[in-house]
Structure 1
Amino acid sequence: MKPAGYSLSQIWLHWVIAALVVAQFVFHEQIVAAWEALEKGQPADINLLVRSHVIGGSVILALTIWRLLLRYKRGAPALPAREHPALKGIAHFTHFTLYALILILPLTGLAAWFGGVQIADFIHTTLKLPLLVLVALHVLAALYQQFVLRTGLITRMVRPG
């Protein structure tokens, strides 16, 4: 049986991971500069923002694993009953892909940074844009559900149920 809503832990993890992902995008220029310097054999400025990016990615990875374990153990509420099957399919695909990306990006980032794995850097860099697009789609879909379809969907992610 599916729960009626998300637990407080699931809600907290959602918003903390979301904030960390946004921070990774906003403050990524320093790590890009450090990476490019290292690739050229030059000394890199390993400053607070570079370290924060590495630590932030590691925290995202750990929190995402925790969130997936909670989801497996507790479950997630069903999508709105009156939602069109095509929208439900898109929602499932988007959620699955978001989870996959927020696992793959930190793993490839760590492999590139600590292991110097070039293919990991390529994957990490390439998957940034799809993650950004899916996050935007996720936000727009939630707003559409809340304000156009009036399903109360956002309430599930702000109030435990």
Structure 2
Amino acid sequence: MTKTMRHSTTQIALHWTVSVLVVGQYLFNEPIAQAWNAAADGLPVSFNPLILAHVAGGVLILALVAWRLVLKSQRAAPPPPDNEPALLRMAAQVAHWSLYGLLAAMSMSGMAAWLGGVEAAATAHGVLKVPLIALIALHLLAVIFHHLILKNPILKRMV
């Protein structure tokens, strides 16, 4: 593996594609939540393209995260900035792996719930939304901190 100063074009595209898909999953989740509740109450669930989009989006997120992890194993991430404290380096590693794990867990629990009717998976899917939002917010705040306070090129690596 070679060290570079920025992520590859494919890694950048995957990052932003997953970001947009995740935002869409949160913005347009109401139809699938209503359908789940209706099905749980024994009511019929009619076709809604937003439900299909939510399910397909979750499957696509899982596939793209897997692709991103394969690329990560083949191409090293850029080295941390020189002015990044060791504690922040460790926190970044934990946060990134946690994001990957939560994205995968959200996708898999959603599929198990919707496609398999697994109630525990639906519960987990609902619970995992909160830490995922928290990690995304932390990620955004870290980028702002690096850019404005530490004045290092973290942001430039992903645009």
**TM-score, L = length of structure 2:** 0.96
Identity of aligned residues (%): 42
Q: Deviations over 1:118-137 (max 9, x none)?
A: 11111111000100010011
1:155 aligned to 2:156? yes
Structure 1 counterpart of 2:108: 107
Deviation at 1:19, TM superposition (A): 0.5
Q: 1:54 & 1:114 partners in 2: Cα distance? A: 9
Task: Give the unaligned 5+ runs of structure 1.
Answer: none
Structure 1 counterpart of 2:141: 140
Task: Give the unaligned 5+ runs of structure 2.
Answer: none
CA RMSD of aligned residues (A): 0.9
Q: 2:110 & 2:79 partners in 1: Cα distance? A: 33
Q: 2:85 & 2:19 partners in 1: Cα distance? A: 27
Query: Secondary structure at the residue paired with 1:81?
Result: coil
Deviation at 1:3, TM superposition (A): 2.2
Q: 1:147 & 1:45 partners in 2: Cα distance? A: 49
* Contact 1:34/1:46 (8 A) holds in 2: no
Structure 1 counterpart of 2:73: 72
Deviation at 1:147, TM superposition (A): 1.2
Q: 1:93 & 1:45 partners in 2: Cα distance? A: 41
Which portions of structure 1, spanning 4 or more consecutive aligned residues, are displaced by more than 4 angstroms? none
**TM-score, L = length of structure 1:** 0.95
Q: Deviations over 1:30-74 (max 9, x none)?
A: 110000001111112330111100000011011111111001011
Q: 1:46 & 1:53 partners in 2: Cα distance? A: 13
Amino acid at match of 1:123: A
Structure 1 counterpart of 2:129: 128
Deviation at 1:78, TM superposition (A): 1.6
Q: Deviations over 1:98-127 (max 9, x none)?
A: 000111110110010010011111111100
